Amino acid sequence: MNYPVWLLDAFGGGTLIALIAVVHVYVAHFAVGGGLFLVLTELKGLRENSPAILEYTKKHSRVFLLVSMVFGGLTGVAIWFTIALLSPAATSSLIHIFVFGWATEWVFFFGEIVSLLLYYYYFNKISSRNHLILGWIYFGCAWMSLFVINGVIDFMLTPGEWLNNGNFWSGFFNPTFWPALFFRTFLALMIAGLFGFITSVNLKDPEMRHKMVRYCGLWLMAPLVLLLASAMWYKAALPPAQQEMIFVKSPEMKPFLSGFVFLSPILFAGGLILAAFRPQAVRRPVAWVLLLLGLLYMGSFEFIREGGRRPFIIHNYMYSTAILKADMPEVQKKGVLQSARWVENKIITPENRMAAGAELNKILCLPCHSTGGPLNDILPLARRFTPQGMEAFILSMGTANPYMPPFAGNSEEAAVLAEYLTAGLIPGFLPTAPKITPVAVTPSPFDPETSEYVLLGGATLGNILYSEPEESGIDLSYGAPVLRAQLFFRDASPSLIMENTTVRYTIETGKGVVEGAMEAQDGYFETALAEIPTPLKPYQPFFIAQLEATVDGKVVATTQAKIGVATEFGCRNCHGGKWRQGGRSGMSRETASGILASHDRKSNTNLSADFADGKTVVCSSCHGDFSRGTESKPGLLSLSASIHGYHAGFLVEEGGNSCVLCHSSSDTGASHSYDGIHKQLDLSCSNCHGILADHAASLLKQEGDTGQAKSLLSLLESKGETVIAEVNPRSPWIMEPDCLTCHVDFHPPETDTAFNTWTEDGTGLFHNRMGEAAVVLCSSCHGQPHSLYPSVNAYGKVIGTLQPMQYQNSPYPIAADKGCAVCHTMEMEDEMHHPGSNAMFRNRE
């Protein structure tokens, strides 16, 4: 798999190809087209009986000999040196597959050398007829060299039936052989005209210079239509998957595609037409500029062709990492370090993690990337990721990043390589868990002997992610919090109090106090805050809402409720940037810029320009978000479907591990927003929502028969735990996992997954549901989603259980452990609210 070669970290494949291969290919095409240029120009001089043209041809042949034979020969040797460094395995394969093809090409190359030397040294020394024969022999040998090399080069791009039958001729006359041959032939003729400019502009005779510059211009113009036609033929001959790889899936190809497109009119409509119709304007600087543009044009084409092979070096046969496609499953199972031939660290230990990561980087990354080099530098990429984000990126290669080969190692090697790339190449990057400073909060007073009322309430959502758009410049936030409250009069048969009652809320935010009165609804009081409160500083992922109930103008009950609002977006794990607030939370403008740049690159938008102008980019203005009451623009996915659908292709970790990369629920983060009873029972996000691939599939399938949804769903094949065809579609925010899927008839669960059974609409959501008596909201007794009682919050023992501790001095749901006395003034034997409501709480610490 790997070879002990001379490692050039800074001068990776792209740099060596640009400096050596592209230059050689440019000269090699000149060697073909220039040979015909010499013969036809000499023939022109003989027919016109022009000693001046013949003299020009002789001088041009000297330049031709030095450039094509001497310099071209040196760069040809350099190409073998380069490919032996970059991919010795592929080089070996090509030699063995086409051994007789190479031998044939070397025969023709020998013919080139001999005939060109004779042509140059016997100019004016033998008969014109015999001299022209030497020129025709040279051109024939040069074109046949192109013929043979073309078969080998395009075999790497489109092996065709060779993959099935291993036949030499199937590989040689591959699907793109003929269009590539015609394209390269016409391009060679045009390059001959470009080099002809260089020698023509040096002619001293103005009339002769005028004549030869126009003649060279015609060499450029004449093959133009045929070149464009053969280019279209070439593109059409590519399999659809490779066309998509070049023109859609490879972001690195865009500069080269743009270069090819923009250089065409500049080179042809500008330089060529100028040379053909205004030859007196062509001087040395113009000639050299045109020659350089031709080199860039050739380079763009070669990089585009290289891109069409991705993620292979020999398409569908050998990956760019020199691992055969047929061997990949076994290597992934065994591990790269165990499979590689020349490595020092076969086994990963705590002491050699960085050394092992360096070897993995050498084997899997450096064949395409450089380290600090001018092309395809891996350092900016490594600097953008956290170790966790890099690991997710590595594991997504070959699927969400189809232009890269699939990661060949095992999960341990992925973690080690990610650690090396983000901490070994970029020292000091490894993050540390933030220090959590406890927040002192005391439950509101309640005297079970004298208090006549019980006030229960809180937010409908357990936690809200807030991107602080004023600071970050991007608004990815959920809808603002909705608060609900219920007031009960304590009695043998308690009653819900709504008449002549006011419930007010007071919230201290980062910009002052937010307060107001809740509106009476059908069975509860509610208020939707106008906006998400400004977070408190130092960082605190929640607010404490003070709730106060008055009846007939008299305060009868008070309580407190946690409102979870976290600014700990995990976007920085992959999009770059640091935490904005004290190394622990908040989206920075650098991270937002990375998100928008990626969006522009993938979706052809111009959001970065708006961002640079100081505008805030509101994601829900294009992608509908039910939590904010917006609808998607035509053809676009909802915000939930687009974010989860797109990122599911990148985040392939099993279980709920991938969720913590983005959401504020990590055990090592600053928010700990998932802190309820399900967390204490070691249940993760995936127990209810499914692993990310399944979760995304449910959202994408609801979007209908759209091209974007289909495309994203195709990336999730075989990634989920449920077959995509069996995943039930759902609308975000209103079709959620149903609690009664696990808690059938409110009894202890017999399963630990609620995925794929959704509430039919908003009425079935936990925060809208009431018990069998249809009086008490489930959330009034059990708390908020994701923070269900008993909630163990990292910021304080009672932060998440303020109301249970207030009313019953225990962290369990209201009235747990036969605690009906919270509201009832007599002992209760019957289960009024739901089966099991008058029982002991079973899940204790």
For the domain that residue 246 is a member of, what is the CATH number? 1.20.1630
Residue 540 lies in a domain: no
The first and second tokens of residue 831, run together, are 């289960």
Residue 163 lies in a domain: yes
Other C-beta atoms closer than 10 Å to the C-beta of 55 total 15
Residue 811 lies in a domain: no
List Cα–Cα distances, 287 to 201, 282, 480, in angstroms.
8, 6, 64
Helix (H) or strand (E) holding 458: strand 453-459
Question: Which of these, 143, 282, 114, lies nearest to 214 by C-alpha position?
Answer: 282
Residue 72 lies in a domain: yes
Terminal Cα-to-Cα distance of the chain (whole angstroms): 53
Same domain, 290 and 333: no
Helix axes 353-364, 411-419, angle to 10 degrees: 100
Same domain, 159 and 296: yes
Same domain, 340 and 223: no
Range list of β-strands (E), 656-784: 783-784
Task: Please give the residue range of the domain that contains residue 139.
Answer: 13-306
Residue 229 lies in a domain: yes
List Cα–Cα distances, 351 to 347, 415, 416, in angstroms.
11, 15, 12
The first and second tokens of residue 663, run together, are 């959401």
Range list of β-strands (E), 360-452: none
What per-residue confidence (pLDDT) applies to 845? Answer: 62
Question: Which of these, 840, 837, 838, 836, lies nearest to 827 by C-alpha position?
Answer: 838
What per-residue confidence (pLDDT) applies to 520? Answer: 97
What per-residue confidence (pLDDT) applies to 551? Answer: 98
In the chain, the number of structural domains is 2
Helix (H) or strand (E) holding 323: none
Q: Residue 465 carries which DSSP code?
A: E
Amino acid occupying residue 471: E
CB 672 within 8 A of CB 643: no
Segments of the chain with pLDDT less than 50: none
Amino acid occupying residue 512: G
What per-residue confidence (pLDDT) applies to 782? Answer: 96
Q: Determine the Cα–Cα distance for residues 495 and 488; give it in Å rounded to an integer.
A: 6
The first and second tokens of residue 709, run together, are 């949804």
Choose the final residue of a domain: 249, 277, 306. Answer: 306
Chain centre distance of CA 744: 41
Choose the final residue of a domain: 306, 336, 364. Answer: 306
Choose the final residue of a domain: 278, 306, 334. Answer: 306
Same domain, 79 and 177: yes
Same domain, 98 and 241: yes
Strand partners, 312: 319
What per-residue confidence (pLDDT) applies to 271? Answer: 62
DSSP result, 504-567: EEEEEETTEEEEEEPEE-SSSEEEE-SSPPPPBTTTBSEEEEEEEEEETTEEEEEEEEEEEEE-
Residue 706 lies in a domain: no
Same domain, 26 and 62: yes
What per-residue confidence (pLDDT) applies to 432? Answer: 76
Question: Which of these, 571, 516, 505, lies nearest to 543 by C-alpha position?
Answer: 505
Same domain, 258 and 300: yes
- Beta strands 554-566 and 464-465: pairing type? parallel
Whether the CA torsion 640, 645, 649, 653 is positive or negative: it is positive
Phi, psi of 156 (to 5 degrees): -65, -30
Same domain, 233 and 339: no
List Cα–Cα distances, 477 to 40, 185, 588, 618, 686, in angstroms.
70, 57, 14, 9, 22
Same domain, 22 and 76: yes
Same domain, 289 and 352: no
Same domain, 196 and 266: yes
Strand partners, 273: none
CB 296 within 8 A of CB 326: no
- The residue assigned the tokens 């798999």 is 1
Same domain, 396 and 300: no
Residue 66 lies in a domain: yes
pLDDT, one tens digit per residue, over 615-634 is: 999 999 999 999 899 999 99
pLDDT, one tens digit per residue, over 72-89 is: 999 999 888 888 888 889
Segments in 48-126 forming alpha helices (H): 51-64, 72-86, 88-97, 99-121
List Cα–Cα distances, 453 to 302, 341, 389, 546, in angstroms.
79, 76, 50, 16
Residue 35 lies in a domain: yes
